[in-house]
Amino acid sequence: MIGFTTRILGNALALYVAFLIVPGFVVKGTWQEYLMAGILLGILNAIIRPVLKTITLPIIILTLGLFILVLDALLLWVVDYIFDFVVIQDLTALVLATIVVWLVNAFISKTSKVIF
């Protein structure tokens, strides 16, 4: 349970960092909106992402894992589609925000394993 909570908070923080760094990626609102988007992104990553990775495994192997970036971008786009307060203006903003979210989550994942 603490791992999923860390992922949710990590997603919320990652979305905030992406908002600060990436032009064209906007989250309108307060910390509650970041938390809601983090919860949805955490649920999508826990339930939908493994299914998508299994279905697209041959493409992931052919691209040496780079297709996972496309899957992550798709999940971030779903968050944008569901919530009106998350706005991704163009494809460049989507790709850059996906990379930033991945980097922040990777850092949080590594540090949480050391702490817990």
pTM tops 0.85: yes
Q: What is the pLDDT of residues 34-62, one digit of tens each?
A: 999 999 999 999 999 999 999 999 999 99
The pLDDT of residue 63 is above 80: yes
Is 105 a domain residue?
Answer: yes
The pLDDT of residue 29 is above 80: yes
Is 82 a domain residue?
Answer: yes
Number of domains in the chain: 1
Is 116 a domain residue?
Answer: no
The pLDDT of residue 84 is above 80: yes
Provide the mean pLDDT of the chain.
Answer: 93
pLDDT for the residue 4: 83
List the domain range (segments joined by +) for residue 70: 2-111
Which candidate, 80, 78, 99, places its Cα nearest to that of 88?
A: 80
Contacts 24+ apart (CB under 8 A), 19-26: 21/96, 21/100, 22/93, 22/96, 22/97, 22/100, 23/93, 24/88, 24/89, 24/90, 24/92, 24/93, 24/96, 25/87, 25/88, 25/89, 25/93, 25/94, 25/96, 25/97, 26/86, 26/87, 26/88, 26/89
